[in-house]
A and B are shown apart, each in its own frame.
Chain A
Amino acid sequence: MLTIEDLHVNIGDKEVLKGINLEIQEGETFILFGPNGSGKTSLLMALMGFSGYEVTKGKIFFKGEDITEAPMYERARLGVGMSFQRPPTIHGLRTRHLVERCARKGQVNPELLAQTVNMQDFLDRDINAGFSGGEIKRSELLQLMAQQPDLVLFDEPESGVDMENMQLVGKVARDVLDGNFNVAPDLTLRERKEQTKTAGLIITHTGYILDYVNADRAQVLYKGHLCCEGRPRDILDHIREHGYQECVRCMN
């Protein structure tokens, strides 16, 4: 589904990703660990196509198409979705309206989707205006549910979320990946699951999200290099015990 070949990315003059190779299969959930400043967010931003993240070398393929130079909206329309860490407030743009606009695969029922993330009261508010950390996550998930991407880029689902919200965010994140939500009530659960083979690329610091999603594989990103591939739980346990020092040794 997603293939990244020798990807080098600059922010200004500084190289932040130094030759990333990564493959994520259809329906697979991939976890990315790494300390602050290692380039995790930059990888997501470059995959989505944000300005300011300049690909200096390498390729990104999605569903077999070279999207290295594709504008953001084309990537979105091809099926790449992203949950933002700190999304901007847009004055006068109602959450409801944005949810409707996200739904390019066919009409969705904003009320129904909002119930899933307990956001009914937010539909008529300006998007992200005064939203708390947990509300932002829920609102991002709400938009993703409407968008139904085939690959979800999720930057730190647990950041700024309290324990109570974490339950909900974790559960819905899993539902998004599993196609387990009520967007098309006329389909049976089995049909929905068959239709949905959503892959995920999730950045996590704390690993809390692993309590909720079925993660298949994980790697550590360290100073712009990918290393230490393994089972997510194993890597998390290792980092908890040894920190990222082991990665440094591993790379040298």
Chain B
Amino acid sequence: MVLSVAAVHRHSVGRWLFWSLIFVGSLLPLGWISLQAVQQKLGADPAQVIVTFLGIWALRYLWITLAVTPARRLFGLGWLQRYRRMLGLYALFYATLHLLAVATFILGWRPDLLVRELTERPYIIVGFSAWVLLLPLGITSTQGWQRRLGKRWKTLHWLVYPIALLVLLHFAWLIRAGYLEVLIYALILAFLLGYRLYLKWR
């Protein structure tokens, strides 16, 4: 399977096919939740369901993006590298939708509530900071910016590690009971970051 995927990537049609598959596949969560919302299947509080759903997919895409390097090194999945930018941009995409959903569906764009949430609620400040930091990474993800920034590009994109920690903190902070889900994501992140430390210091 690994070999065949690599083989597919030697042909431009295969590369195009894979690119399309990941691009369209990444829109499926958004399509699914939109359909559920339109069909009014989200219960008494669709706002909360949508916000949580978009948030968790932003987190998942960030984790998947961080998994590219370990997957490449550990399983020889070199072809994954070419999709890392797209996966990272999907993390930003879902994070942005998550933020817009909070502002629209929960706060109704009421200025007083927006100000209150952004100044008084620690877990929202943490989550919002993660988004603000993620934004420049998305903007500078093009090859043009990569060239222009040179060595500094790598320094800038190192920010993804503190961002991931902020995201985890944001998630853990809003839990009322039941830490299993956040524990699982924390363990995965610990591995993804720990593996990099291992590569550095072995």
Check if A and B associate.
no
Q: Chain B: residues with CB nearer than 8 A to chain A? A: none
